[in-house]
């Protein structure tokens, strides 16, 4: 495929995600939109399984017209994306993490918006969680000020190649995370518009121990936010009043929510304490102790008693059914 015909370059960095990489690649290969190339960057993977997967991929895609496998020393996701984009030929770029997926119509719809709207630089979709958590992940229409507070644009958004060039790519210093957030702020500063695409076109895998979870560690988040604010000091200074007031409101709402939860927990603790101190509860405990002495746990007598109890429950259900049928037949 010549550089003139490639519309979208899909860049997939992968570091020790061999168990997921084929799913990500397959989601791209299944795209309705065919005017794309896919560059998979092995970012210095070290685990045996991932290395074997890449050996297989090298054998499967030696001269594929749409797929290219690239290997590099471990440098972090930002550097891996930059490397892949530097080798790509597309007019538009889609970064895709190795454990995520895209919907079949995503590339088609995103490319159509970019082709028909020269002032739009980034197309971002609603998303869908899968893996350890499922559900919708929806975003509001783009607000430049809101982007200063938190990242409201998914990493796997489709954008113009010239944005990457103008912003000098992703910041390789941000190895812990938030490199995509910083990239979107840079694009916003350049004056590009962001377009929200309706529908869940991107699938984000929820799993424990992901790279993003490191951003929630207080010392990491503190360092990342400071780095972000310092790098984009001008725009943060211009919107300082907005940023401080919005963060203060969020903090106040969080405190109110915490106090509400504490009150609810306190009420439940009081209810449990009253139950524990009641005569009925004490009588039940005495009955349980007597039961355990007469019918010890894991004994044949306990198993037999449990079996008889279950049979009585089933018998009761049968009698209820028969009684209901008798009443119905009489009613007729």
- The model's pLDDT over 3-61, given as tens digits with 9 standing for 90+, comes to 457 899 999 999 999 999 999 999 999 999 999 999 999 999 999 999 999 999 999 99
Pairwise CA distance, residues 260 & 251, whole Å: 14
The dihedral over CA atoms of 297, 302, 307, 312, expressed in degrees to the nearest 10, equals: -110
- Judgement on whether residues 136 and 226 belong to the same structural domain of the protein: yes
Could you give the CA distance from residue 163 to residue 180 in angstroms, rounded to a whole number? 13
Q: Is residue 61 part of a domain?
A: yes
Spatial separation of the C-alpha atoms in residues 105 and 222, rounded to whole Å: 38
What is the chain's Cα-based Rg?
29
Question: What tens digit of pLDDT does each residue of 168-202 get?
Answer: 999 999 988 899 999 999 999 999 999 999 888 99
**Residue 85 — φ and ψ, nearest 5°?**
-65, -40
Q: CA angle 67-23-48, nearest 5°?
A: 85
Mean pLDDT (the chain) is: 89
Answer yes or no: do 205 and 319 share one domain: no
**CA pair distance 88, 82, nearest whole angstrom:** 10
Continuous segment of H or E residues that includes residue 36: strand 36-43
Tell me, yes or no, whether 30 and 176 share the same domain: yes
Among candidate residues 186, 207, 238, the one where a domain is terminated: 238
Phi (first) and psi of residue 292, to 5 degrees: -65, -30
How far apart are alpha carbons 70 and 280 in whole angstroms? 70
Per the DSSP assignment, residues forming a β-bridge with 101 are 203
182 & 75 share domain: yes
Domain end position, chosen among 181, 216, 238: 238
The larger pLDDT score, comparing residue 5 to residue 315, is at 315
What pLDDT is stored for residue 1 in this prediction?
44
The reply to whether 53 and 157 lie within a common domain is: yes
- Indicate which CATH number applies to the domain containing 177: 3.90.550.10
Domain that holds residue 19: 8-238
Shared domain for 298 and 181, answered yes or no, is: no
**Is position 3 within any domain?**
no
Same-domain pairing of 211 and 69: yes
- How many CA atoms, within 13 angstroms, populate the side-chain half-sphere of residue 75? 16
The reported pLDDT for the residue numbered 329 is 64
Q: Are 222 and 178 in contact (CB under 8 A)?
A: no
Between CA 246 and CA 149 the distance in angstroms is 8
Identify whether residues 184 and 300 lie together within a single domain. no
Instruction: Establish if 229 belongs to a structural domain.
Output: yes
Whether residue 185 sits in one domain with residue 311: no
Give how many domains the chain has, as a whole number: 2
Shared domain check, 315 and 193: no
The more confident residue out of 82 and 331 is 82
Query: Which segment, 49-58, 278-287, 292-301, is predicted with the most confidence on average?
Result: 49-58
Q: What is the per-residue pLDDT across 114-171, written as a single tens digit (0 to 9) for each?
A: 999 999 999 999 999 998 889 998 888 999 999 999 898 999 999 999 999 999 999 9
Same domain, 71 and 204: yes
Write down how long the chain is: 332
What pTM value is reported for the model? 0.76
């Amino acid at each position: 495929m010549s550089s003139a015909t490639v519309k979208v370059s899909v860049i997939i960095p992968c570091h020790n995600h061999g168990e997921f990489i084929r799913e990500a690649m397959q989601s791209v290969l299944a795209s309705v939109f065919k005017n794309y190339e896919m560059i998979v960057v092995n970012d210095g993977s070290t685990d045996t399984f991932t290395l074997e997967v890449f050996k297989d991929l090298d054998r499967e895609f030696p001269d594929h017209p749409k797929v290219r496998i690239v290997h590099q020393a471990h440098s972090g996701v930002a550097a891996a994306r930059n490397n892949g984009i530097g080798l790509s030929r597309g007019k538009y770029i889609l970064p895709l993490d190795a454990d995520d997926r895209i919907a079949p119509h995503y590339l088609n719809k995103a490319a159509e918006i970019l082709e028909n709207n020269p002032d739009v630089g980034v197309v971002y979709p609603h998303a869908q969680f899968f893996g350890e958590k499922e559900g919708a992940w929806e975003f509001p229409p783009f607000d430049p000020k809101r982007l200063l507070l938190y990242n409201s644009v998914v990493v796997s958004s489709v954008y113009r190649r010239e944005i990457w060039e103008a912003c000098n790519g992703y910041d390789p210093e941000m190895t812990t995370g938030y490199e995509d957030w910083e990239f979107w702020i840079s694009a916003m500063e350049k004056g590009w518009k962001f377009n929200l695409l309706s529908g869940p076109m991107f699938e984000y895998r929820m799993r424990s121990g992901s790279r993003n979870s490191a951003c929630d560690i207080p010392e990491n988040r503190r360092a990342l936010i400071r780095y972000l604010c310092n790098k984009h000091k001008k725009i943060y200074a211009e919107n300082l009043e907005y940023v401080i007031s919005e963060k203060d409101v969020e903090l106040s709402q969080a405190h109110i929510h915490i106090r509400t939860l504490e009150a609810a927990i306190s009420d439940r603790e009081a209810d449990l304490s009253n139950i524990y101190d009641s005569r009925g509860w004490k009588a039940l405990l005495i009955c349980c102790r007597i039961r355990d002495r007469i019918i010890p746990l894991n004994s044949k007598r306990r198993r037999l008693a449990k079996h008889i109890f279950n049979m009585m429950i089933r018998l009761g259900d049968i009698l209820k059914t028969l009684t209901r049928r008798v009443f119905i037949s009489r009613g007729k």
